[in-house]
Amino acid sequence: MFRSDTDLLGSLTAELSQQLKDYEDQALLEMIRPNLATQFVQDAPELAKFREAIAQNDSMDDKEFLRIFREFIPTTNYEPYRPFIAKFFATPCKEADVKNMFAPGLPYFFAMSSMTSSKSVKTFPRYRPPPHLLQNPLYLALPPSGGTTLSPASMRYSQILKIDCEDGQSKQVTVCSLSIGFLRMAMSWDAEQDNERLDLWLPGQTDPYAISLVKSYRAFFVLNALFALADRRVTIIRFFFANVFVIFLQYIEDEWSLLIDCIEKGIIPDVEDLDHLRAPLEKLFKPNPLRAAELREIGPPGVEGWAVRVWPHLERFFGITGGPAATAVSKACQVWKLTHVLGPSVPTQATGYGSSEGSMALPYHKGDPNTDYKVMFLDVLTEFLDVRSNEPSERVLSIYELVPGGHYEPVLTTRNGLWRYRIGDVVAVKGFAPDDGLPIINYLHRREGGFVMAFGTTCTESQLTSAIVSAADRWIGQIIDFTIVGDDRDTPITYGYLIEIGGDIGKDARMATQQTFEDLMAANDEFRTAFWQGRARKPTIRLLKKGTFAEYRQQKCNKTNVSISQVKVPVVLSDPTFREWLLQQVVVEL
């Protein structure tokens, strides 16, 4: 159980405020002083005034250095970094051209953005952190567990960059997802030696290493399900997004008989694209008729607490349940609701709040660990912009200047060489932790994540998500996944929901359109005004055939090499190719 919000402070005492100022100053100095001599700081046009102020100042004590940073560093986006990052992708790439580019030395890997909110992949260099931080939860790709962890991980990468070093050797830098980069860094796994580790099975994991190299989306989840079901010692389930666990359960239900037969006989199922991975998996998988009999008696997912019956030692579920993953905790269909499958004895918890650019906050366990995050200055220094401010030039705020109830965009300065970088999220401040005064925040939505329709209004991602989840709870059934496109089949253009459901559709499902419309009218003043002026119309809801979003994820993996377990379905879809493909999968309109 978590405490009520009344435990949080509504304002900071003078002592806590000074404590936060000192904490922020020290963290900022640790991050920016080592990066002062980097190529980006020395050459980026956006930092010209900062360089000039530094050059004109003879006294560079800490206080003066911080003043110059706060006065002369502007907020940035990806564009200033793009030409510097491009140097790593040049052929040939010489060490002298990229050394000390954003931070001292060379990056360990490049983290790929998920492309959820943009059309193109962004890459961010990630350097090895100081040794004292490597055991922090922000960096632990495989957190310690007293038992066995079910945490599917894909080792897929986009490409390997080759840097020709001055000593005649070369350095390989992998371009991959953030979590896979952290895992490779923690284990010192070079991508070029992936096939030499095929017999590896990390202690405490349900999935052998070979599964992480599987390319097929379906095969990846079927094989993870096979090895996980065979192991009754699971204590932790960890999925990046909670709704991906729901998809995992669907594969278990669809392939239940096959999986149990394979566990009984100790065979690897005939799934696609295994090739050279089949032999090591067959070597590691043994017959277990007793476990197969136990699973047959339990049956496939459906009953409340199914997960605890299958894994009697299960203690906790880790995964993001907000944003697009909110469908996993929808009340629409108890059979597929996350808390129903886990049962009342298994708490759920988010893993933290962050992005490819940096990790900003950890779950606040004295609040709701699924939605409440405590800002920490470990990987990044986070400042904020007030999204409701009417000031002509947005003023960057420190943590001790925040106000409970305020909505803010985080601005990141990182150990990896980002300077006041705007990530485009919007968070709400709930209050301040009573022990140290650090802000407790909730993620709301992307700042530019809604549609600006022809009638000039923007509903936020959180408003659009809440409306369809609420409608599904009452009328439609369990949403597996959804996205929204501009529906321009009539005028004016409107929000076109494309959803995939699990199980049977509700008998009064057509009522969902009206409820979604009413919820958006109540949530967004601009939308309501536009409707009454005849500039807006009701949203539309179309159902997609079963398996559509699994195929979407497979195509996204093939196109971008984003990690299989981390592909996100965007709330608002901007890619025109995927839009047309999804519209071809429509089976009925409500």
Report the distance separating Cα 486 and Cα 573, nearest Å. 9
Residue with tokens 């090499």: 561
CA nearest to 164, candidates 85, 100, 106: 106
Distance CA 68, CA 50 (A): 7
pLDDT the model gives residue 486: 87
Say which residue the tokens 């949080």 belong to.
8
CB 222 within 8 A of CB 269: yes
How would you label 423-451 residue by residue, b for 16+ Cβ within 10 Å and e otherwise?
bbbbbebbbbbeeebbbbbbbbbbbebbb
pTM of the model: 0.81
Residues 224, 207 contacting (CB under 8 angstroms): yes
For residues 173 and 154, what is the distance between their CA atoms, to the nearest angstrom? 17
Question: 């010209």: which residue's tokens?
Answer: 48
b/e 527-541 (16+ beta carbons within 10 angstroms → b): beebbeeebbbebbb
Q: How far apart are CA 153 and CA 206, in angstroms?
A: 11
Q: Which among 486, 485, 479 has a CA at the least distance from the CA of 549?
A: 479
Q: Write the DSSP string, 541-575.
A: EEEEPTTHHHHHHHHHHHHH---GGGPPPPSB---
DSSP conformation letters of 283-319? HH----HHHHHHHHHH-SS-STTHHHHHSTT--EEEE
In CATH, the number for domain 461-589 is: 3.30.300
Of 78, 75, 103, 99, nearest to 87 by C-alpha is 99
Q: What whole-number distance in Å separates Cα of residue 555 and Cα of residue 579? A: 13
First to last CA, the chain: 39
Q: Which residues of the chain are modeled with pLDDT < 50?
A: 1-4, 117-118, 329-335
Evaluate whether 213 touches 279 at the Cβ level (below 8 Å). no
Beta carbons of 204 and 147 less than 8 angstroms apart = yes
DSSP state of 75: P
Determine the pLDDT at residue 437.
93
| DSSP output for 354-396 | EETTEEEEEE-TTS-TTT-EEE--SSEEEEEEETT---SSPPE
Task: Give the start-to-end residue ranges of the domains of the chain.
Answer: 1-34+45-79+358-446, 88-147+158-197, 199-349, 461-589
The tens digit of pLDDT for each residue in 166-210 reads 888 899 999 988 888 888 888 888 888 888 889 988 888 999 999
Q: How many CA atoms lie within 13 A of 478 on its CB side?
A: 20
Which residues fall within 8 angstroms of residue 233, CB to CB, at 6 or more apart? 147, 148, 311, 313
Cβ contacts of 537 within 8 Å, gap of 6 or more: 490, 492, 494, 531
Measure the CA–CA gap between 424 and 422, rounded to whole angstroms. 6
